Amino acid sequence: MRIAVFFTPQADHPLTLAAARWLMRDAFTGAHFAPVAADPFNADDLHALTAEPRRYGFHATIKAPFRLTTGAGLADADALLAGFCREAKPCPLPELEVAALGPFFALVPSAEAKAVSELAARAVKAFEPLRAPLDPHELARRRRGGLTPAQEANLTAWGYPYVLDEFQFHMTLSGPVPAARQAAMASLLRERFDAVPRQLAIDSLALFVEEEPGAEFMIRCRYRLGDGARV
C-alpha cells in the first residue's frame, strides 16, 4: 500500500468533472468513462495518452506517494492530515492554464504561487514520520530519467526529487505525448479546458490510497484547511 497527499477540487466542481471525463476516471467514486475520439486523436489514442494520470486521478501532488513506515496505519495518516489542515491556511491559486511540462501536459498556475509552494514544503516535512525509506527498486525508478544534484538530494532526504525549491504545482492531464502530436494535444486541451472555471484556492487536502502496487489511487478523505473539518 502507498498513500499520498494531493490537492483536488471538490467532487462536483466543474473542473473536477471535466478532468474526470478527460482522464476517463473519477478518483472520488472510481467510475470509469469510455474514451471518445477527438480529431485528430482516435479513442484508443486518447485512452493510451491519458493512461498514466488516469491511475492517480485528477490531482496536484503535495506529498508524493509513499509506503507507510512499520507500525503506522491509515488512521495515523488520517489524523496527521486532519491536524495539518487544521493549522494550515487556505492558499489562493492563480488561474490555471494548459502547459507542456516536457512531453507531458498539465494545468499550471498562470503566475507565481509562492504560498502554495510554502504549503507543499510544510506538508512534505510534516508527513516524513510516516514515510518508509525507499527501497532499491523505488530509488532506481526515481533516478531513471536523470536527476540534478538538488533533485538527488531531495530524493535522499524526502523520498521524492521534486520538492522544496524543485516543486512546481501542476495537475497532470497526459502521459508523454510524441513530439509530432504535441501541438495537436495542446490545441485539444485548450479547447476542452479554456471554457471550464480554472480559478481555484487550495482550500482542502486529500488522502489518496493505492491499495496494492499498480492499483488505481482512490480518495480516502479530504480535510478543509483552516479548521481540519472533514469534507
User: Tens of pLDDT along 16-28?
Assistant: 999 999 999 999 9
Three-class SS state of 29: coil
**pLDDT tens-digit readout, 185-221:** 999 999 999 999 999 999 999 999 999 999 999 999 9
CATH number of residue 21's parent domain: 3.90.1140.10
The verdict on residue 184 lying in a domain is yes
In 3-state terms, what secondary structure has residue 181?
A: helix
DSSP state of 95: P
26-85 pLDDT, tens digit each: 999 999 999 999 999 999 999 999 999 999 999 999 999 999 999 999 999 999 999 999
Domain that holds residue 213: 2-224
Task: Identify the band that residue 145 occupies on the pLDDT scale cut at 50, 70 and 90.
Answer: confident
Counting residues of the chain whose pLDDT is more than 70, the rounded percentage is 100
User: Exposed, middle or buried by CB within 10 Å (0-12, 13-18, 19+), for 165?
Assistant: exposed
Examine the pLDDT at 124 and tell me if it is beyond 90.
yes
What percent of the chain has a predicted confidence (pLDDT) above 90?
100
Is residue 64 domain-resident? yes
Which is nearest to 61 in space by CA: 167, 219, 201? 167
> Count of H helices and E strands in the chain?
8, 9
Residue 229 domain flag: no
Asked whether residue 230 is assigned to any structural domain, the reply reads: no
User: Is pLDDT of 180 > 90?
Assistant: yes
55 domain residue, yes or no: yes
Average pLDDT of the chain, as a whole number: 97
Q: Please enumerate in sequence order all residues whose Cβ is within 8 A of that of 23, keeping only pairs 6 or more positions apart, or say none.
A: 50, 53, 54, 57, 58, 173
- Distance CA(166)–CA(21), nearest Å, equals 30
Beta-carbon neighbour count of residue 58 at 10 Å?
27
Find residue 42's DSSP bridge partners. none
Backbone angles phi and psi of 229, in degrees to 5: -70, 140
Whether residue 108 contacts residue 101, with contact meaning beta carbons closer than 8 Å, is answered with yes
DSSP code of 69? P
Beta strand 96-101 with 104-109: parallel, antiparallel or unpaired?
A: antiparallel
Cell numbers for 142: 526515481
Q: Is residue 90 part of a domain?
A: yes
128 within a domain of the structure (yes/no)? yes
Structural domain total, the chain: 1
Can you give the pTM of this predicted structure? 0.96
pLDDT (average), residues 180-189: 98
| 3-class state of residue 188 by DSSP | helix
- Closest C-alpha among 66, 56, 64 to residue 26: 56
On whether the CB atoms of residues 155 and 141 are closer than 8 A, the answer is no
The interaxial angle of helices 14-23 and 182-193, nearest 10 deg, is 150
Please give the Cα distance from 37 to 45 (Å, whole number).
Answer: 8
CA distance 225 to 231: 10
Mean pLDDT score, 128-152: 95
Q: Average of pLDDT values for 127-153?
A: 95
Rounded to an integer, the average pLDDT of 144-150 is 93
Q: Which three cell numbers stand for residue 103?
A: 512531453
In a domain, 231, yes or no: no
